[in-house]
Amino acid sequence: MTKSRLLDLLRRAVALSVGERLILAGSQACYALSSSAPDLVERSEEADLLLVGVDRSLFLRLEEALGMESSHLRETGVFAHPVGLGTIVLPAGWEERLVAFGREEGLANVWALEIHDLLASKLMAGREKDFEFLRALLAHALCDFPTLLARMELLRAGPSANAVPDRLARLARQLRDWHRDDLARTISNVSGRPEN
């Protein structure tokens, strides 16, 4: 979705959230880095909103007014998808790295995941679209690869630690497919495993 459509969606979400913190936890978080975004972000119709420490009723209000089954989607072509920490894996310290979002547009309680935290989360999800998102950010120079690897290392101390080596190996394969052997080699240097 375009940034203007995202801002409209967020204004509506803020009105429903009564001061609760809303965190962009999907590909639209890259708008916190740049006013333009890769095409795949603009084509997306969904904005994931991470809600932490809020009453369940906020999830329901957002879903009803702005969610996948809402009239808002039918009218605008975009929707909000409220998610909780049970559906997303994030590196330790992610809350300290949140990026204020939309302050110049009056959105006082909206934040975005820092891009490398978001990418680490997407790599842990491991879907094809998540790897394509990383590829697009690399192509647009919106990702510092050593920082991404550092965030993946932070995940080794959490409950998803056993999945990290597999995700790094898969990332290395993707990078080689994208002819980015330079980056694939850095994974074996960090993980201590060959990047096969």
Give mean pLDDT, residues 65-70. 95
Give the strands of the sheet with 46-50, arranged side by side. 79-83, 46-50, 22-24, 110-112, 99-100
Rounded Cα–Cα distance for residues 62 and 15 (Å): 10
CA dist 78 → 81, 83, 93, 172, 186 (Å): 10, 16, 30, 33, 38
The predicted-structure confidence for 27-63, as pLDDT tens digits, reads as follows 999 999 887 788 888 889 999 999 999 999 999 999 9
Phi, psi of 42 (to 5 degrees): -70, -25
The predicted-structure confidence for 134-186, as pLDDT tens digits, reads as follows 999 999 889 999 999 999 999 998 889 999 999 999 999 999 999 999 999 99
Instruction: Bin 52: left if φ > 0, else alpha if -120 < ψ < 50, else beta.
Output: beta
Rounded Cα–Cα distance for residues 62 and 17 (Å): 8
The predicted-structure confidence for 74-86, as pLDDT tens digits, reads as follows 999 999 999 999 9
What is the three-state SS of 109-134?
CEEECCHHHHHHHHHHHCCHHHHHHH
Pair 134, 30: CB distance under 8 Å: no
**CA dihedral (49, 50, 51, 56) positive or negative:** positive
Give mean pLDDT, residues 3-15. 95
> pTM score, two decimals?
0.91
At 15, list the tokens: 């009105």
Q: Looking at the predicted structure, is the pLDDT value of residue 25 above 50?
A: yes
Pair 82, 10: CB distance under 8 Å: no
177: nearest Cα among 132, 145, 120, 119:
132
